[in-house]
Amino acid sequence: MTTTDFEDAYSHFLSRYPDYSTTESLDRLRSDEYSRIEDLGHTYLDYTGGSLYADSQLQKHTDFLASNVLGNPHSNNPTSQQMTHYVEQARNTVLEYFNAPENEYIAVFTPNASGALKLVGEAFPFQAESSFLLTYDNHNSVNGIREFARSHGAQVAYIPVTMPDLRIDTAEMTTALTSCNAKVPNLLAYPAQSNFSGVQHSMEWIDRAHEAGFDVLLDAAAFVPTNRLDLSKVKPDFVAISFYKMFGYPTGIGCLIAKKSALKQLRRPWFAGGTIALASVQAMEHHLADNEAGFEDGTVNYLNIPAVEIGLNHLREISIDTIHDRVQYLTDWTLKELVKLRHSNGNPLVRIYGPVETIDRGATIAFNLYDPNGTMIDFRRAEELANKENISLRTGCFCNPGVNEIAEGLTSEEMQAGFSGGKRMDYPYFLSMLEHQQGKSAGAIRVSMGLVSNFKDLYKFITFIRSFLDRSSKKIGRVKFDIRTCRRLRDGS
Ligand SMILES: Cc1ncc(COP(=O)(O)O)c(C=O)c1O
């Protein structure tokens, strides 16, 4: 990319999105607090994977640790009391940040969003006539709850998403909600924002599900990093989040924000240190502690919990609305640029999964690339080439297989083939089988924007994608690395 090309493109971008300048504070923030991105030559476009932290977050946390003597909060000595005070302060900050009325909601610290989802799944009082409804568009950590539901004999039903926008099928959802038995516990789980397509599913489903006799588990992990979630306005029973996705540091802490009344109905399948009011070996009995204590197994990640408060204050200072606005402009520009890209023979280079407009969608874009003959370019090869340019994007199914199955038109029979014949098939083998037998793919490329994304990141990305124009898939070459499940392993070659 030449400087002049970039400058021309930037001034064109600014004239197209004049309000982008209202988010200029983020440019200053990036150069003051995230200068290592430029210094190390990175183009970071995997914010849905994990956000990035500011220098000051680390500094504040280190200063905090260096100026305190902190003990395990389960004791009752001075250092323990001090730590308990900071953990509770962070808990209150979480509730305040999401505007969650204190008399209504509780924050339970968990290792990550998956930990929060599992707490609900394993303890929800599913019974034979219960319904567990979930959408095709869900992270595997939500899909996994179906195993708990099934083990209690509950009905598990997936609500499809419709093509091409990959939004919840309204008619199917309405029918499913109204045909359940409202006298038994029922649960609806869906993402506020898809980690695959960026679609933001309507929050109106929360009230409608409540009216139909469902509790609602809102997976907000991909939504809250760039959007405001106001729990005084929308009232899901359970919300799952991971803090590293919001502000990069610390990893290893998530949260279940739960309505007190909903938490009361949960039946934990076990107890652990820290979760009981009373337990006896001889009596073989236990009473679970009240509220959040009954759900925080063992010792919480106490030294890092104050860094959650630092991170939330960091977001408050920046303003989530400023972040939201900036990523919306960048997403709109990127979508339009991608759609425009055509080979000389007129065939499109890019197929975007999900909406190409920014209405009710966030800053995550999933797509595949096609050569001039319409042959799909292996997304793993695209990632390999992006790596060479120091562009961090993500490929695969992003742990969200259902929406990908719909987007690629994979049938139930094709997916069953991955599980039949007694052979334990892995993801790379399954991909090659699909490619050879049906010419289809079970994965895509994903870019996602976050708190310090800027125009240069997206310009670099579009320049990279342009480099695929008019090149045959043969010329682009085959991938040299492999991915298994959602984790990528070097094959040693
Ligand atoms: C929508 C969504 N839900 C849940 C998760 C799981 O988060 P974690 O891996 O932090 O548990 C993710 C992670 O990417 C996600 O995007």
CB 481 within 8 A of CB 435: no
For residue 395, give the amino acid letter.
T
**Residues 236-295 pLDDT 10s:** 999 999 999 999 999 999 999 999 999 999 999 999 999 999 999 999 999 999 999 999
Among 316, 345, 374, the domain-final residue is 316
Is 224 touching ligand 1 by the criterion CB < 6 Å? no
Number of Cβ within a 10 Å radius of residue 373: 11
Residue 414: pLDDT band with limits 50, 70, 90 = confident
Closest residue by CA, ligand 1 atom 14: 49
Backbone angles phi, psi at 39, to 5 degrees: -55, -35
Is residue 303 included in any domain, yes or no?
yes
pTM higher than 0.85:
yes
Is residue 32 included in any domain, yes or no?
no
- Which one, of 112, 65, 386, lies nearest residue 243 by Cα? 112
Residues 374, 261 within the same domain: no
185: Cβ contacts below 8 Å, ≥ 6 apart:
124, 125, 126, 127, 130, 215, 265
Is residue 434 included in any domain, yes or no?
yes
- Please state the atom number of ligand 1 nearest to the C-alpha of residue 111: 11
The pLDDT of residue 411 is above 70: yes
Tell me how far apart the terminal alpha carbons of the chain are, to the nearest angstrom: 31
For residue 329, give the amino acid letter.
Y
**Into how many domains does the chain fold?**
2
**C-alpha to C-alpha distance for 101 and 243, rounded to whole angstroms:** 20
Residue 328: pLDDT band with limits 50, 70, 90 = very high
* Residues 19-43, mean pLDDT to the nearest whole number: 98
Residue 410: pLDDT band with limits 50, 70, 90 = confident
Residue 274 domain boundaries: 61-316
Residues 103, 134 within the same domain: yes
Instruction: Judge residue 135's burial from the number of C-beta atoms within 10 Å of its C-beta, 0-12 exposed, 13-18 middle, 19 or more buried.
Output: buried
Is 222 touching ligand 1 by the criterion CB < 6 Å? yes
Is 188 touching ligand 1 by the criterion CB < 6 Å? no
Is residue 53 included in any domain, yes or no?
no
Is residue 357 included in any domain, yes or no?
yes
Within 413-481, strands assigned E span 444-448
- The residue to mutate among 139, 229, 245, 364, having the most atoms of ligand 1 within 8 angstroms of its beta carbon, is 139
**What angle do the packed helices 55-66 and 25-33 form, to 10 degrees?**
50
Residue 31: pLDDT band with limits 50, 70, 90 = very high
How high is the mean pLDDT of the chain?
93
What does the pLDDT read at residue 293? 94
Tokens standing for residue 43: 């183009």
Handedness of CA 453, 455, 459, 460 (dihedral sign): negative
- Which one, of 59, 51, 33, lies nearest residue 364 by Cα? 51
Q: How far is the CA of 222 from the centre of ligand 1 (A)?
A: 7
Residues 138, 207 within the same domain: yes
Among 295, 316, 337, the domain-final residue is 316
Residues 371, 268 within the same domain: no
- Rounded to the nearest 5 percent, the helix, strand and coil shares of the chain are 40, 20, 40
Residues 337, 456 within the same domain: yes
Residues 217, 112 within the same domain: yes
Among 297, 316, 335, the domain-final residue is 316
**Residues 1-19 pLDDT 10s:** 688 899 999 999 999 999 9
The pLDDT of residue 423 is above 80: no
* Residues 133-144, mean pLDDT to the nearest whole number: 96
Residues 289, 325 within the same domain: no
The pLDDT of residue 317 is above 60: yes
Residues 342, 222 within the same domain: no
Is 191 touching ligand 1 by the criterion CB < 6 Å? yes
Number of Cβ within a 10 Å radius of residue 279: 15
Instruction: Please give the positions annotated as active site.
Output: 399
Residues 341, 298 within the same domain: no
Is 141 touching ligand 1 by the criterion CB < 6 Å? yes
Q: How far is CA 484 from CA 90, 182, 427, 442, in A?
A: 37, 41, 5, 12
Closest residue by CA, ligand 1 atom 7: 113
What does the pLDDT read at residue 493? 32
